[in-house]
Structure 1
């Protein structure tokens, strides 16, 4: 070891160049422990004084702290002068922080190892968890004075260790290594005798290790302890611990597209791939030219194999060869993780973290994953499992040699189907009798179609739509066409089918190329061609009957890449540029105005923006309520991403920034903060091109809001303050109020309470000036929360009550629930526990059926702490149990912290709630 290193996982220790330094006992040791326990964060001077002296703060406390800081700096770097700062310990006027890394502090190494373990398969996770726990030398504050040991900065680290012990135990049980954790579990269980989940894990480990009698004995002791010492009955964990499996039930996705009812041919390839699928845990790449039938074969194969992969199927169209950019692997991972049961707000931002979490979920599953239309290996690698028995099927026009080399992918090259298989394809669509009646015509058709499955399907559709036509006549018409099929295959067949369309259907086929992939719904089609829904439906049916458009799932239509390319050439030749531009504008108007209505239904905090009326022929979708708004966004989000890029690339700057304005709250819901920031940057660029200060104000507010979510505080502050100046200059009261509100949120999250209060009060006044009742209630609730955090709960009562009344008058259930929680939080800090309990119960009732289950979990936690303060231990225990059960669904780490804190708090009555729900 070289340089300076620190240890805080046990009595604080410091080394320099392998030699241990002596830290002065007493307050210098306490101060160093406190700073290391919150490494990287500024510890406020008020907190330092409180830890060192409590209520006995001397008048010279700040000077004494400064002297202790000087002592520590000279200990770490004796060469420093008296006024120099040095490398490790910094102050900014409000407090002090230690600038350390995982290489110099055991706490950060512990966290890094635990994070790596959480993303690993159970077997390697066991080793990583064991390595992390081996860094602990005892309780963090064990060597400190008794009066400081209960400080939250120290007890929270011990709870963090407890959480990792439980995760370690769970991983060991899943990997069949129960014997490795028995000693750790026994020791930890002795220190936490009232932690039921921990005791249940110990019992499970004993059962798995073959010690059934000991497991029964331990369970009996825990039950007696809970009843005799706490007066509570055990929860279901203990009853199930003797029998339940180690791994929890999880989401089972089934995402495969519909199989083709008329599938035919490919007998050799199908047999090879079916045998390949028996092995599991492998990768197959089905490759070949466009239109050769790769996707059809892959989907049919996947349906045949699905029963062998009981944990479900995942599907993604990677759009590797269509117009626009291929789908980024990060987008696919977010979709897959949601399908696997990961809540949107728990999906990591970074690609590598998403991929690691995805691999850890797949490691204990046997799944089938179909990655369709891949462009290159780099697009696929993050989507491959790291371990386990899952099968990956890939389709691509490229052979992907890198995957063959690095991942052992087995390539299956598709060529034209045989003449017999081509006849079989026609028979499945037209019937055996019709095909058998004209063998020479069928042979001619097969050759003219180049034995290309897509061309054969189009030809069969043409024949099926005209049952009176002889196949010989169709073949003769092909023979008199422009010439033989070219290298991409099927162009003559496409032109022949296109020529058979009605003029309106032909126009729709051409204009579909102006809509971004991957698919399109009927309402957007109606706007694209400026038609009514009924007329649009008739034209869509004509195209699907001709196999020129595919209904991939009910109500969503896909244009094959080859057909899109062909239709684009037709549009260039047949449709004047002005007509194409008008159609593209109708598409943008359709989505922008639908998104505006959806956003208005979804949130009450949208800043009004005056949009021009949609162009002639545009019919936005009707969206009636919040649930319909969410369903619309979930359905359209892949299209909306591409539409934003299209708007930016084609110079539709107004549509670009206004689409970002209308979609940001939906992206929040998904937790896609990095994507929200990327789109907001596009809005900023578009607003700059327009030189429109209104657009610039909205765009910078969107970008500041996204940066706030990403914890990029300095950038968030810059953009929010710029938006505030721009809105002020325009006299936009809504924008001013919103910008002030978000700067207040930023300051509150940073713990800068005085600044947060100032901005929240200014936001409140701004909302009053524009008579925005929802904004006023939000501002009042924020002011009440901040006052309570500042130790002024008596002053907080009035704004909290005002917020509650406004939300009730507006019948805003979410806002009312948040206000009840804030009021309960305030009463709790006033020592009015019965009033707090009543408030929390009202809030829980309002949130019980809300999609915001995380808020219900927060309030249940508050209720448990209030019950404990009131001496109602059984009620506290039940509230915490319900809170942890909800957290289990979206934040298991917090669930474990609540269980650990509740087990400790049941032995004392000093608990204080941590945070209240906010109306955001």
Structure 2
């Protein structure tokens, strides 16, 4: 027998653990099924025929014995050759039964049935500790599931019930009730579980809920099997009825069931005004408040209802429908039973069916109009049978938009949104019982809590929990924590847990919608468009739109524009947690990065005539990328997402999507050079982290090149030159001609700015050489353009400068790049002016300005404006020169304030 193997785990996710604590990886499929089949029969041989059936069910391979032998051989390689013995006609696993958790648990339960109470309690506890989830999870063997899962579950339920019976003192605790509610939800026809739930409720003083639970099991049995409850349950029901208050007069004491208003309620004036307005409409008998979890719907409803109480002297009723809760939602029948008993209908007089209960409810309220608060509704179907007749008022709260309640039942709906900033500050002050002194900290704390009242209350109470503590201390703690939701909780109250409250909305989603919510959580910004969501979820854009609409109906996102949806920060934080744990995270991340990389490439091409990147093939067939009509469209798109791209860059580095991080930094280069140069260095340094992980020369060379460009843009020229010189040997080692041409060119530009014109010309010539070898006309044109610019500043080479720039102009014309052509023509303007030919210079300037158009705030236009001003001044038009230089100055004020001195000097040179 192997000494290395300790345990086979089947009571939950399949696992095999070695003696040293190491988890032995058994591949999913036949080998797991084989080990599970042998483990469930340790100590005895399992025949070849039985094993074939368990592994392949009714679809065995052509040579089943040979296939089984191959799987046994592979399993022995993983576990050791001595663990699986070959016996006559089959195989056996050489392990004692207590090394298989399923067999051990069954044996402990068996022993507990004949033991003394103290020993039985320990045995049952030991059995339950072995359960980690659904048995045989991760074992793809339908035959094993059919043969063993029912018996294993029976053993588990027997242990649960035995523990309950052995611990009578704890029966009334909320922990038992919650667990039993979950179990009866999973096993709705197991009467012994219902019996214990009803007992637990009754012994906890929750008589009405105990009677409701009996009604639920009675309905289940009648609908599913056409049977009555067991004699034990019926007897228990009679006991409950005998304990119920006597009498059934509808003139019983007036019910006053509304929860008390919270003392710290503040603000919400616009909400209260809107709710008053809804009631002023003719015929309104249903008012529905809907909004995200924790937004304060119930608190608002209770506060608003106080002003309506005089209109309903017959009383107010309240029921928590548990639509979004740790407990199972209340059925309409159960809720009707509670409501009817609250107005004096004896439990023994209640009809059996939902329709009859609903009819009786409407009849009784027709006689006594009341105000009914139906709190925490799951959906319209749960609420509809509970609606009172005309004369009464139903106030409903829900995380669901309850559109059906408005369409079919005439409900007037009101969306409860996050509190305004002023209301948030008032709430912080009221709950913490201290005047707000540090308004900046309070405002930042409110924003960090997404202006969600539940989060604000928890944060405020934490700020006043310790002597000397302040809102600033709480703010600092939340800002410093990577797990903000962990701090916004009360460990002693599950209803005061922001993560838990928001999670109830997530847990109510259908599986495919829940998957979509998780994957959308990977998006680094709280705002998302349907096309991006479609890429993340891997669906058509129209399907993504429908998914986002359904998430909006559940108040997990909200629509903030015709094409943008947004999650508030705390919902986004939960979604990000869920995304990080989702096994699809890397695949979804690849789709997300691909969408933004390709769309950004489209924007570069439209804005700067930039050459297209090679992404190794077309996008997926369902992908709809962002497309652009021209410069303005592309730049506006980028500017709206400038912060997002920074977040996306950090996400790629954090997730170690290293190739994509370097690609993204490269694509951002043109935009950051043109408009956001202050971000270029931080982007490049993140790219350098990613490239360092990749370790290849091409990626490292590209990252050093990008960092050099960033350093150059903020004036740290010598550092930029040094960084370019680090990039060059890497580019040469990688044989990357494009990177060589780009780096030599950028190094040449940096040397020009240092007035090292001879070295700059040498670098640009190397760039031209690499570009000619590369065979890409646009890159060659740029290298020639840079060479000409450097030669124009070098004594005796103006003729060469013009020749090289004219060659660049023809290349730009051939590849159809009007924007870059405008840049080259701007340079020719300067060169012909320096050559003493101002009329020719003016002609080139006219053509350059026409091609560049109104592309303000871009360096190409400012360079062309400076050159044009020089020409106009030379031709005796100082007013024209002043006009274009003033325009250039206004652009520099926004984009490059460090160049203001240059243009101011030009303006000063003009005659007054």
TM value normalised by structure 1: 0.46
TM value normalised by structure 2: 0.46
**Which of the pair has more CA radius of gyration?**
2
